[in-house]
Amino acid sequence: MRRILVTGAFGQIGSELATALRARHGVERVLASDLALSASGPPAADGPYERLDCTELEDIRSVMRRHEVDEIYHLVAVLSAVAESDPERAWRVNVESLHNVLIAAREFGSRVFFPSSIAAFGPSTPRTDTPQVAVQRPSTMYGVTKVAGELLCDYYAARFGVDVRGLRLPGLVSHVTRPGGGTTDYAVEMLRAAASGERYSCFLAPKTRLDMMYMPDAVMAIIQLMEANPARLKHRNAYNVTAMSITPAELAAQVRERRPQFVVDYRVDPLRQSIADSWPQSLDASAAREDWGFAPRFGLAAMTEDMLRRLGAEADTSKGARQQGGTRDAERKITQNARGAA
């Protein structure tokens, strides 16, 4: 059986993408992988799982040989804020692991998905309506690794014919797995606090405008791009995508419409603020719309509504479980273990 490999499957995207791919292609066809030795909780435990450190080329080759992998969703990375605290590790994990995946994909004739980011742009890029093709001189290590990744993907496609496709994703908002140390994490943190009836101290200034997208739209976009007719893909790799361009103050206002008691204050973290200030405020996603029909369904209001409803139900369930003698958030623990080992 030819298999689809998801690397970094315990992360914010992987935990939902692996589930969506399993629903589409069958549980046994999708092999989840991450750094943890075993998967004892969702999402990876509902199907095949292998521990895989993507900085080890031989380990990738071994997994691909044993499972006859013909498609890889390579989600392994160190995210923006974490990358600034250890730039050497960020290069190793973000660039070398991608290069290993591309080498193996070339050898095994596999297709590859690679997620780039709005971080691939920098202070000299036009900040509003940032075009698909624009200056890319990022000032963060995360951004440097994303530009290097985009170029590696282009090179392997042009030189060796590897079918590698990618998106430049904005900040992603989701409720299944907590974000892994990015600059846009404030949105998830704010919605989680609001759903639990807590106040929130935001680490970005109230008027910091950045692109965002709700996870169901991101998962749909990834699947749509990988299923698109290659003849229609003018860019193939690193398509700009976004669903909304928002500030913390605008998100807080949406929350207060539904939770009038919600209180937010601002304690700006200089590192993450400087990262945010170097990124675009709104991407032009017209190339993705024209080439493969990108059409996100959730705007700010619909996303806020859905997140608060789902997180509220989650908070009620865990409160009930605590009252009955305690519970563990197995999924979060696995993710933390995986990150700790990284």
Residues at the interface with ligand NAD (CB under 6 A): 7-8, 10-14, 34-35, 52-55, 75-77, 79, 93, 97, 115, 117, 169, 171-172, 179-180, 182, 184, 335, 338-339, 342
**Alpha carbons 34 and 342: distance in angstroms, whole number:** 9
* Nearer residue to ligand NAD within complex by CB, 238 or 308: 238
User: Least distance from C-beta 170 to ligand NAD, angstroms?
Assistant: 7
Reading the block at residue 139, the tokens are 């000032």
Cβ-proximal residues to 106 (8 Å cutoff; 6+ apart), any chain: 156, 160, 162
**Alpha carbons 146 and 227: distance in angstroms, whole number:** 23
User: Least distance from C-beta 260 to ligand NAD, angstroms?
Assistant: 29
Reading the block at residue 314, the tokens are 């989650």
Active site residue 200: no
Scan for tokens 């995946």, then name that residue.
101
* Three-class DSSP category at 77: coil
* Nearer residue to ligand NAD within complex by CB, 72 or 79: 79
User: Least distance from C-beta 23 to ligand NAD, angstroms?
Assistant: 18
* Nearer residue to ligand NAD within complex by CB, 29 or 178: 178
Cβ-proximal residues to 284 (8 Å cutoff; 6+ apart), any chain: 129, 130, 131, 132, 240
| Active-site entry in 142, 186, 200, 214 | 142
Burial tier of 180 (Cβ tally within 10 Å: 0-12, 13-18, 19+): buried
**CA 35 to the chain's CA centroid:** 17
| Secondary-structure breakdown of the chain: helix, strand, coil percentages, each rounded to the nearest 5 | 50, 15, 35
* Nearer residue to ligand NAD within complex by CB, 8 or 248: 8
Strand order in the sheet with 49-51: 49-51, 30-34, 3-7, 69-74, 111-117, 164-169, 239-240
User: Least distance from C-beta 54 to ligand NAD, angstroms?
Assistant: 4
Closest Cα to residue 335, out of 171, 179, 101, 116?
179
β partners of residue 266:
202
**Alpha carbons 154 and 165: distance in angstroms, whole number:** 9
* Three-class DSSP category at 278: coil
User: Least distance from C-beta 342 to ligand NAD, angstroms?
Assistant: 4
User: Least distance from C-beta 89 to ligand NAD, angstroms?
Assistant: 9
* Nearer residue to ligand NAD within complex by CB, 321 or 341: 341
Reading the block at residue 330, the tokens are 């197995």
* Nearer residue to ligand NAD within complex by CB, 221 or 252: 221
How big is the chain by its Cα radius of gyration, in Å? 19
Q: Mind telling me the catalytic residues?
A: 142
